[in-house]
């Protein structure tokens, strides 16, 4: 049975809900239609999120993204709608969706939308010191 586009992404339980950790996904083949000309718009999506209790299941995410293939939407609207749907499904601590639309009329468009759970604060970035092993004096 062939896969069909889906309108709602599935989730699974976060295996480490007590820890902030980043999940990064890249979706290089997003397609929707220009709502005016009905010509296809192509984009690369980058999704970053810190889960709370739920994580996105990848196959359902793929089918959900596929559901936009024949929908007309402005870049700004579709980026925010996808973020709203993914936040609604997972209720993450943090989520950012970056949509880089390929050139149309000589213009590249990038839309970035973010969600932060009320009261959640990012931990300070941890910087690790690297050792220079090339200067070994043995």
Does any domain span residue 89? yes
Active site residue 32: no
Q: Is 135 inside a domain boundary?
A: no
How far apart (Å, rounded) are the C-alpha atoms in residues 129 and 18? 26
Sequential pLDDT tens for the chain (138 residues): 456 777 889 999 999 999 999 999 999 999 999 999 999 999 999 999 999 999 999 999 999 999 999 999 999 999 999 999 999 999 999 999 999 999 887 889 999 999 999 998 888 877 777 777 776 655
Tell me the pTM. 0.86
- The question of whether 34 is a catalytic residue gets the answer yes
Residues 75, 11, 85: CA angle, nearest 5 degrees: 25
Please pick, among 20, 34, 48, 85, the residue that the annotation labels catalytic. 34
The number of folded domains in the chain is 1
Residue 67 lies in a domain: yes
CATH number of the domain encompassing residue 85: 3.30.1130.10
In 3D space, the residue among 128, 94, 112 whose CA is nearest the CA of residue 21 turns out to be 94
Annotated catalytic residue, options 41, 55, 84, 132: 41
Give the domain extent around 96.
Answer: 25-117
Q: Is residue 127 part of a domain?
A: no
């Amino acid at each position: 049975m062939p896969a069909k586009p889906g309108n709602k992404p599935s989730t699974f339980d976060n295996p480490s809900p007590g820890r902030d950790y980043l999940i990064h996904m890249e979706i290089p083949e997003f397609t929707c239609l220009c709502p005016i000309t009905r010509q296809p718009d192509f984009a690369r999506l980058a999704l970053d999120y810190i889960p709370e209790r739920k994580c996105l299941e990848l196959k359902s995410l793929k089918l959900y993204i596929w559901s936009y293939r024949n929908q007309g939407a402005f870049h700004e609207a579709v980026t925010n709608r996808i973020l709203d749907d993914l936040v609604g499904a997972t209720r993450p601590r943090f989520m950012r969706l970056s949509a880089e639309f390929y050139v149309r009329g000589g213009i590249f468009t990038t839309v970035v939308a973010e969600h932060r759970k009320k009261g959640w604060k990012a931990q300070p970035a941890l910087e690790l010191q690297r050792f220079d092993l090339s200067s070994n004096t043995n």
